[in-house]
Amino acid sequence: MTKYLLVDTANTFFRARHVAFRGSDSWEKLGLAVHITLNAVLKCWQKQKADHVVFCLEGRSWRKDFYEPYKKNRAVARQALTEAEQEEDKLFWEAFDDLTKFLKEKTNCSVLRCEIAEADDIIARWIHKHPNDEHCIVSSDTDFVQLLADNVTQYNGITQELHTLKGIFDDKGNPVIDKKTKQPKEVPNPEWLLFEKCMRGDTSDNVFSAFPGVRKKGTKNKVGLLEAFEDRKNKGFNWNNMMLQRWVDHNGDEHRVLDDYNRNVHLIDLTQQPQEIKDFVDNHIDETVEEKHQTMVGAKFLKFCGKYELNKVADNADKYAEFLQAGYKK
């Protein structure tokens, strides 16, 4: 059995950007983002005793063709950036491309980018193609909770927490305590989280709700999400009572809940991509992943550290070199 680290690279890098102290200049933020990204992988590598790292990158998502509003909110947000923010954004993307180029050309890690799919799709299909192996997803994205299984965990490099079906643990292996309840944090049922998101939509990706204003728990006269979820397998009264409801949007267009729910399942459920997308990503993985035999990885990494003034990372270059030189074995 092999243990893989599957890195949601853009998520880890750009979330780390916002950890910098106020007043930090762009170069300091940049160095910190690279540092946190590499450090998250190193910590996970050491704790999980992994065998190989797969860095997954973003392509142009097939979802934009399937659903026109998908992530349009992000384009609007980019247009609202000031000139200084746009310049910083450009600098970060250049550094990100530089990092992924280094990982692809100078290390033995696998680097995957599929032209029509997102990193989420690549990670989901990698897990599907390696059912007898163990996987740890390195990302802060809660969308991956749906993939948690006995052989799949998720490590949040920002909070330094490991999410498993058994609970949430810190870097020392201790349960993370909820500040409000003073009890160990629990991972919600992945099936429930997925169902709720497909019903409520995903504002971060501009995926609209299938039933705006729906209650979590029903009343005497109305079925809620909990009741419909419990009836999802039998497809009985509670399920149909909710799914066959109709509502009218602000443009006067009528929607049936079931139709919008099924649309959102395709967009959000990482096991329900169209078959042609699954086949395309699977073929890309098969054709791209290979055994690499890069030598002098540690020396090349030191040179990369020098470029971004990663002095603390460079001081421990031998530790980082462990995962950078660990190749894929077919």
Please, are residues 71 and 206 in contact by the beta-carbon 8 Å criterion? yes
Please, are residues 143 and 268 in contact by the beta-carbon 8 Å criterion? yes
Nearest to 314 by CA among 39, 94, 16: 39
d(CA 58, CA 280): 15
Note the pLDDT of residue 81.
Answer: 84
**Eight-class DSSP state of 236:** -
**Eight-class DSSP state of 314:** H
Note the pLDDT of residue 29.
Answer: 81
Q: List per-residue pLDDT tens for the chain, 330 residues long.
A: 999 999 999 999 998 777 765 556 777 888 888 999 999 999 999 999 999 999 999 999 999 999 999 999 988 888 888 888 888 889 999 999 999 999 999 999 999 999 999 999 999 999 999 999 999 999 999 999 999 999 999 999 888 999 999 999 998 999 999 989 999 998 889 999 999 999 999 999 999 999 999 999 999 889 999 999 999 999 999 999 999 999 999 999 999 999 999 999 999 999 999 999 999 999 999 999 999 999 999 999 999 999 988 999 999 999 999 999 999 998
The domains of the chain are located at: 3-188+273-321, 190-268
d(CA 317, CA 310): 10
Nearest to 41 by CA among 18, 21, 11: 11
Please, are residues 139 and 37 in contact by the beta-carbon 8 Å criterion? no
Nearest to 163 by CA among 141, 183, 194: 141
Please, are residues 70 and 64 in contact by the beta-carbon 8 Å criterion? yes
Note the pLDDT of residue 25.
Answer: 74
Note the pLDDT of residue 194.
Answer: 96
Q: Characterize the bridge pairing of strands 161-164 and 152-156.
A: antiparallel
Note the pLDDT of residue 16.
Answer: 78
d(CA 304, CA 316): 13
d(CA 302, CA 156): 26
Q: List the beta strands (DSSP E) in the chain.
A: 3-8, 52-57, 110-113, 134-138, 152-156, 161-164, 167-169, 246-248, 254-256
CA atoms within 13 A on the CB side of 232: 13
Give the CATH number of domain 3-188+273-321; options: 3.40.50.1010, 3.40.190.10, 3.50.50.60, 3.40.50.2020: 3.40.50.1010
Cα end-to-end span (Å), the chain: 12
Note the pLDDT of residue 79.
Answer: 85
| Whether the model pTM is above 0.75 | yes
Alpha helices in 5-62 (DSSP H): 9-16, 26-48
Please, are residues 294 and 108 in contact by the beta-carbon 8 Å criterion? yes
